[in-house]
Chain A
Amino acid sequence: MTIDEAPALTGLAERLRAALGPDAVIDDHQRLRTYECDGLAQYRVTPALVVLPADVTGVVAAVRACAEAGVPFVARGSGTGLSGGALPRADGVLIVTSRLRRIIEIDAASQRAVVEPGVINLDITKAAGADGYYYAPDPSSQLICSIGGNVAENSGGAHCLKYGFTTNHVTGVQFVAPDGEVVRLGGKAPDATGYDLLGAIVGSEGTLGVVTEVTVRLVREPEAVRTLLAGFAGVDDAGAATSAIIGDGVVPAAMEMMDALAIEAAEAAVRCGYPDGAGAVLIVELDGPAAEVEAQFAEVERHCRAHGAFEIRIAADDAERASFWRGRKSAFAAVGRISPDYIVQDGVIPRTVLAEVLHRIAELSRETGIRVANVFHAGDGNLHPLVLFDDAVPGEAERAEEVSGAILDLCIQHGGSITGEHGVGSDKAKYMPRMFSDADLDTMQLLRCAFDPGGLANPGKVFPTPRLCGEVPGRHKGAHPLQDAGIAEVF
Chain B
Amino acid sequence: MRAAGEEVLDELSATAAARPAGEDDHVDGVPARVVAEPSTTDEAAAVLRIAAARGLAVVPRGTGTKLSWGHPPERVDIVLDTGRMNRVIEHRAGDLVVHVQAGVRLDALQEHLAAARQRLAISPVRPPGAGPGTVGGVVATGATGPLRLSHGAVRDLLIGVTMVRADGTVAKAGGKVVKNVAGYDLGKVLTGAWGTLGLVTEAVFRLHPLPPAARWVTVPVTSADDAHDKVQRVVHSSVMANALELDRAGDGSAALAVLVEGIPQGVDDRVRTLLGLLGDAGDTGEVGDAEVTDVPPGWWGHAPWERGGVALRLTHEIARLPRLLDAVDDAGPRCGLTAAVRGSPGVGVLHAGLPADPGAVSAFVTLLREASPAWGGDIVVLDAPPAVKAGLDVWGPVRGLSLMRRVKDQFDPDHRMAPGRFAGGI
Are A and B physically bound partners?
Answer: yes
A278 to B253, CA, bound (A): 62
Determine, out of B10-18, B30-38, B328-336, B400-408, the stretch whose residues face the partner at the interface. Answer: B400-408
B339 within 8 A of A: no
Contact A109 B180 (CB under 8 A): no
* Interface mask (B379-422 → A, CB under 8 Å = 1, otherwise 0): 01000000000000001111111111011011100000000001
B423 within 8 A of A: yes
Contact A348 B410 (CB under 8 A): no
Contact B96 A289 (CB under 8 A): no
Q: How far is the CB of B151 from chain A (nearest CB, A)?
A: 10
* Interface mask (B56-92 → A, CB under 8 Å = 1, otherwise 0): 0000000000000000000000000000000000001
Contact A109 B318 (CB under 8 A): yes
Contact with A247, one of B94, B165, B170, B262 (Cβ below 8 angstroms): B94
B191 within 8 A of A: yes
Contact A421 B378 (CB under 8 A): no
A108 to B239, CA, bound (A): 17
A443 to B411, CA, bound (A): 8
A444 to B92, CA, bound (A): 27
A491 within 8 A of B: no
Contact A419 B411 (CB under 8 A): no
A471 to B235, CA, bound (A): 50
Contact B169 A196 (CB under 8 A): no
Determine, out of A6-14, A55-63, A310-318, A434-442, the stretch whose residues face the partner at the interface. Answer: A434-442
Asked whether A191 and B165 contact (CB < 8 A) given A167-B185, A168-B152, A295-B263, the answer is no
Contact A351 B179 (CB under 8 A): no
A350 within 8 A of B: yes
A227 within 8 A of B: no
Contact A352 B92 (CB under 8 A): yes
Closest to B237 in A: A220
* Interface mask (B302-332 → A, CB under 8 Å = 1, otherwise 0): 0000000000010111111000000000000
Contact B209 A249 (CB under 8 A): yes
B129 within 8 A of A: no
Contact A289 B270 (CB under 8 A): yes
Contact B265 A420 (CB under 8 A): no
Asked whether A184 and B177 contact (CB < 8 A) given A193-B378, A440-B183, A447-B407, the answer is no
Closest to B198 in A: A443
Closest to A436 in B: B183
Closest to B347 in A: A190
Contact B169 A439 (CB under 8 A): yes
A483 to B276, CA, bound (A): 69
Contact with A443, one of B153, B169, B347 (Cβ below 8 angstroms): B169
- Name the A residues within 8 Å of B172 (CB-CB): 436-437, 440
Contact B232 A187 (CB under 8 A): no
Contact B235 A220 (CB under 8 A): yes
Determine, out of A200-208, A332-340, A364-372, the stretch whose residues face the partner at the interface. Answer: A200-208
- Name the B residues within 8 Å of A273 (CB-CB): none
- Name the B residues within 8 Å of A196 (CB-CB): 142, 155, 188-189, 191-193
- Name the A residues within 8 Å of B376 (CB-CB): 187-189
A437 to B315, CA, bound (A): 38
- Name the B residues within 8 Å of A246 (CB-CB): 94, 96
* Interface mask (B155-175 → A, CB under 8 Å = 1, otherwise 0): 110000001010001111101
Closest to B156 in A: A168
Question: Considering the complex, which residues of chain B in the window 182-215 have a beta carbon less than 8 Å from any beta carbon of chain A?
Answer: 182-189, 191-193, 197, 208-212
A403 within 8 A of B: no
Interface residue tally for chain A (C-beta within 8 Å): 93
A39 within 8 A of B: no
A221 to B240, CA, bound (A): 10
Contact A110 B240 (CB under 8 A): no
- Name the A residues within 8 Å of B181 (CB-CB): 153-154, 156, 165, 203, 417, 419-424
Chain A CB count within 10 A is highest, among B178, B262, B423, for B178
- Name the A residues within 8 Å of B319 (CB-CB): 107, 109-110
Contact B95 A111 (CB under 8 A): no
Contact with A164, one of B152, B210, B238, B262 (Cβ below 8 angstroms): B152
Contact with B153, one of A187, A191, A439 (Cβ below 8 angstroms): A191
B294 within 8 A of A: no
B266 within 8 A of A: yes
Contact B403 A197 (CB under 8 A): yes
Contact B270 A191 (CB under 8 A): no
Closest to B266 in A: A292
Chain A CB count within 10 A is highest, among B95, B173, B183, for B183
Contact with B406, one of A199, A291, A439, A450 (Cβ below 8 angstroms): A450
A423 to B319, CA, bound (A): 35
Chain A CB count within 10 A is highest, among B117, B170, B171, B240, for B171
A451 to B402, CA, bound (A): 10
B424 within 8 A of A: yes
Asked whether A112 and B186 contact (CB < 8 A) given A183-B399, A187-B376, the answer is no
B138 within 8 A of A: no
Contact A189 B209 (CB under 8 A): no
A243 within 8 A of B: yes
A160 within 8 A of B: yes
Q: How far is the CB of A463 from chain B (nearest CB, A)?
A: 8
Chain A CB count within 10 A is highest, among B192, B208, B237, B401, for B192
Determine, out of A140-148, A375-383, A389-397, the stretch whose residues face the partner at the interface. Answer: A375-383
B349 within 8 A of A: yes
* Interface mask (A176-195 → B, CB under 8 Å = 1, otherwise 0): 01000101110111111111
A156 to B192, CA, bound (A): 25
Contact A188 B410 (CB under 8 A): no
A449 within 8 A of B: yes
Question: Considering the complex, which residues of chain A in the window 414-463 have a beta carbon less than 8 Å from any beta carbon of chain B?
Answer: 415-424, 428, 432, 435-437, 439-444, 446-451, 462
Contact B192 A185 (CB under 8 A): no
A193 to B315, CA, bound (A): 10
B251 within 8 A of A: no
Contact B180 A192 (CB under 8 A): no
A349 within 8 A of B: yes
Contact A443 B186 (CB under 8 A): yes
A277 within 8 A of B: no
A107 to B117, CA, bound (A): 38
A107 to B142, CA, bound (A): 26
- Name the B residues within 8 Å of A129 (CB-CB): none
A200 to B183, CA, bound (A): 10
B250 within 8 A of A: no
- Name the B residues within 8 Å of A450 (CB-CB): 403, 406-407, 409-410
A220 to B232, CA, bound (A): 12
Contact B180 A419 (CB under 8 A): yes
Contact B240 A444 (CB under 8 A): no
Contact B400 A194 (CB under 8 A): yes
A405 within 8 A of B: no
- Name the B residues within 8 Å of A153 (CB-CB): 181
Contact with A446, one of B232, B316, B347, B410 (Cβ below 8 angstroms): B410
Asked whether A446 and B411 contact (CB < 8 A) given A194-B399, A436-B172, the answer is yes
- Name the B residues within 8 Å of A156 (CB-CB): 179, 181
Contact B183 A220 (CB under 8 A): no
A443 to B94, CA, bound (A): 31
Contact A447 B180 (CB under 8 A): no
- Name the B residues within 8 Å of A22 (CB-CB): none
- Name the A residues within 8 Å of B182 (CB-CB): 417-419, 424, 428, 432, 435-436
Known: A109-B319, A197-B189, A292-B263. 11 other contacts (CB 8 A): A108-B236, A109-B236, A177-B403, A195-B189, A199-B155, A295-B266, A349-B177, A440-B172, A443-B163, A443-B169, A447-B407
A sample of 9 cross-chain residue pairs with beta-carbon separation below 8 angstroms, ordered by A number, consists of: A110-B320, A168-B152, A188-B318, A194-B404, A246-B96, A296-B263, A421-B179, A440-B172, A443-B169
What are the 5 tightest A-B residue pairs by CB atom distance, in nearest-first order? Answer: A199-B188, A249-B209, A109-B319, A292-B266, A223-B238
Q: Give the interface of B toward A (CB within 8 A).
A: 92-97, 117, 142, 152-153, 155-156, 163, 165, 169-173, 175-189, 191-193, 197, 208-212, 232, 235-240, 262-263, 265-266, 268-270, 273, 313, 315-320, 347-349, 375-378, 380, 395-404, 406-407, 409-411, 422-424
